[in-house]
């Protein structure tokens, strides 16, 4: 289920045409220029370094280069069109990370 809110009725609805490219909890998310970016997260196979963005015009996910190290529950910010991933849980799921990674999306 992919719920969202309907601004007119202030209720949840399910977006059947939008599904994450992988199952994940604790992933980093940010929207820049109408594109939804997702990074890392925890799936049944552990914490992973995956990254992708959803283009609402084409309604397709596009894979991005993997994060240099697997992360979940990281902080995420955008500044001057660059995406920053800050800290989070390392791939063992127990160790907090002190790294900062940056991506300049196209």
Q: Does residue 64 lie within any of the structural domains?
A: yes
The count of structural domains within the chain is: 1
Answer yes or no: is 41 within a domain: yes
SS (H, E, C) the chain: CCEEEECCCCEEEECCCCCCCCCCECCEEEEECCEEEEECCEECCEECCCEEEEECCCCEEEECCCCCCCCECCEEEEECCEEEEECCECCCCCCECCCEEEECCC
Q: Note whether residue 93 is domain-resident.
A: yes
Q: Which structural domain, as residue segments, surrounds residue 36?
A: 22-103
Residue at 11 is within a domain: no
Domain membership of residue 14 (yes or no) is no
Judge whether 3 lies within some domain: no
Residue 31 lies in a domain: yes
Q: Give residue 19's pLDDT band: very low, low, confident or very high (50, 70, 90).
A: confident
- Binned at pLDDT 50, 70 and 90, residue 1 comes out as very low
pTM of the model: 0.84
Domain assignment of residue 10, yes or no: no
């Amino acid at each position: 289920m992919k719920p969202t809110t309907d601004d007119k009725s202030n209720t949840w609805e399910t977006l059947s045409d939008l599904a994450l490219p992988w199952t994940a909890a604790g992933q980093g998310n940010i929207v820049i220029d109408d594109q939804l970016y997702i990074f890392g997260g925890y799936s049944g196979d552990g914490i992973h370094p995956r990254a992708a963005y959803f283009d609402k015009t084409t309604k397709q996910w596009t894979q991005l280069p993997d994060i240099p190290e697997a992360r979940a529950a990281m902080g995420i910010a955008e500044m001057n069109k660059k995406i920053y991933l800050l800290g989070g849980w390392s791939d063992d799921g127990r160790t907090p990370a002190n790294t900062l990674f940056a991506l300049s999306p196209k």
